[in-house]
Amino acid sequence: MGEQFIEYKVDGNVALIGLNRPNKRNALNEALVGELASAVERAGKEVAAAVIYGVGPAFSAGLDLAELAARLQAPTEQSFRPGRSIWHSTFDLIARGPIPFIAALHGATIGGGLELAAAAHIRVADETTYFALPEGRRGIFVGGGGSVRIQRIIGYSTMADMMLTGRVVSAEEGRAIRLVQYVVEGGTVLSKAIEIAKRVGENTPQTNWQITNVLPRINDMSHDDGLFAEYLNSRMPRPPASLERLQEFLEKQATPLR
């Protein structure tokens, strides 16, 4: 793929996608986001689950502010052409694609970096992780789906507080406001995320797709529409693996819940 800013490895049934621009704290420029889109598409075709992590001291310092400043300083015709944001299309490939994504967070997870993490289905942070939405400080606004995804995760008031004040939120506070599901010791986040991804990857692809695609859409619906959509979903043909798994349990061959 000729990657400059993304590293891609496969470990069993899991893809490991690394943001690899450590000297700029994995600030997200257009080239990086484009490479990320290719890596995400590739993972969807060849593995059962994926982990996104940051190389170097941070997960990601968010939007590349130098690139935006250059664009604002010297706008081109392209700058005014309407179209879909590459951030939206790429982060949607993660959030609404065929496989689950686990974000492994450490250090700065800021602005667009947090928007990227919010596109994943499970977020694991180590204790060095800190979150901020300094858009207010920088004179800009979220643009990577944060007003939809982060707001739905933490609610308007908490997001408004983070954006208006630009304050830093620790890993533990991140767990309290439901930004992350796990907080682990420094240095162990990647192995924990891989362990989770491998376990998730053991589920049937259909169930994983329902959890990552049906469930969040139902979350956006009214009570009545949600129940209707759940009913329709229950009428979808089930793959042979569903019956095999039920039989495994009934024949006392299933691995006990752990």
Annotated catalytic sites, by residue? Answer: 115, 135
d(CA 15, CA 5): 16
Site string for ligand 1HE, 38-57 (x = CB under 6 A): -------------------x
* Cβ atoms of residues 177 and 158 within 8 Å: yes
Alpha helices in the chain (DSSP H): 30-46, 65-73, 86-95, 112-119, 135-138, 146-154, 156-165, 171-176, 189-200, 205-209, 215-219, 223-234, 240-250
Output the CA torsion sign for 186, 187, 191, 197: positive
Binding to ligand 1HE, residues 108-167 (CB under 6 A): 108, 110-112, 134-135, 138, 140, 142-144
Would you count residue 192 as binding ligand 1HE (CB under 6 A)?
A: no
Q: From the CB of 131, what's the least distance to ligand 1HE, in Å? A: 11
Q: From the CB of 250, what's the least distance to ligand 1HE, in Å? A: 50
Integer angstrom CA distances of residue 191 from 46, 70, 196? 21, 38, 9
Binding to ligand 1HE, residues 80-109 (CB under 6 A): 87, 108
Measured from the CB atom, the residue of 164 and 232 that comes closer to ligand 1HE is 164
Would you count residue 66 as binding ligand 1HE (CB under 6 A)?
A: yes
Binding region for ligand 1HE (CB under 6 A): 24-25, 27, 57-58, 61-66, 87, 108, 110-112, 134-135, 138, 140, 142-144
